Chain A
């Protein structure tokens, strides 16, 4: 069993990462699949002053479930058992944290493959994850 962590954000790129895992499974690789979505924290002191903690958590859950939904549906259709995870934090740090906690033997994620300008502006979460994780990281465009 290869412990596999898929990081998804609901984008087409991350769904292609899911498809890649489905192909590995179809080829006969036995995997313990974990699907993770990371929400960027929205709460500053101000937000917490005006919005209940429950409402903030509800917001994370709603956004997270939406991001996970199609990825998990594809895994279900392929008959791949998986565990869902939702967390709030710095995106790359959190993916690395889960990879370590789960002792993931591979991490699979989408890469946006943005243009040079957007890449320079926003950088790439994928690059940061590679730097932080010891396991092999597969990037899917």
Chain B
């Protein structure tokens, strides 16, 4: 891998971490909110350690798996889907959130489960961008750490100011997916030696696919109200449970 390829892959990994890693920090902070002050720092610390450990283990397995025939194609399909989801507004009726725990281990458990689920997309994307190069993978993990720990505010502000960043991110995921699909060993086995330009053509096709489908679906989705008023006088230490719609 020459220097410019390496630098491009590094830039891609950083972009992926910014776009797909930011919400991890939010979950860690929110899950630890109910903890007593003294335990909050501990909860956040172990949450971050867990997030990093989970990423290392998952990326290690992902890189091994991607060497198997057909799995890069599968990974490419998954990445296209992740890219499209990045471009869609959130569904309103989506999920019942897990109850925020008020003891340390409950909070850490929530955070670890969240880490596993939330790093999956990140892991597939980073493994794809790293072309099996473990040095890049390790670098990607190191880069994602500060983003997980301190970056969420910055990421949220960036997305608030420049929504186009998200479209770019979707295109990037499509690009990686396209390159991944044609580098699958089963594809090469079927068609023999593939011309070098095909990787770029396939990447471009992936990027266009993600952006086109994502934009089209986002357009069809009814947009939810964009301004949500929050009542100021609900007691912040209120007992858990639904508090009803306060005006």
Contacts and interface: CB of A to CB of B under 8 A. Distances in A.
Interface of A: 39-62, 64-65, 68, 84-91, 93-94, 97-98, 122-123, 125
Contact of A55 (B100, B231, B232): B100
A40 B31 CA distance: 18
Contacts, number: 126
B242 interface: yes
Contacts of A52: 97-100, 240
B190 interface: no
Contacts of A91: 160
Interface residues of B, number: 43
B226 A50 contact: no
B157 A40 contact: yes
5 contacts: A40-B157, A42-B23, A48-B90, A64-B232, A87-B229
Nearest to B242: A54
Given A40-B160, A44-B90, A45-B90, A51 B30 contact: yes
B226 A48 contact: no
A119 B212 CA distance: 31
B227 A46 contact: no
B191 interface: no
A89 B226 contact: yes
Given A42-B156, A46-B114, A89-B226, A59 B33 contact: yes
Given A50-B31, A86-B230, A122 B158 contact: yes
Nearest to B233: A61
A61 B229 contact: no
Given A50-B97, A55-B34, A55-B97, A123 B162 contact: yes
Given A42-B26, A50-B110, A60 B230 contact: yes
Contacts of B227: 87-89, 93-94, 97-98
Contacts of B229: 85-87
Interface string B17-52: 000000110110111011000000000000000000
A38 to B, nearest CB: 9
Contacts of B97: 48-53, 55-56
Contacts of B228: 41, 87-89
B16 interface: no
Nearest to B243: A54
A2 to B, nearest CB: 23
B242 to A, nearest CB: 7
A61 B233 CA distance: 9
B236 interface: yes
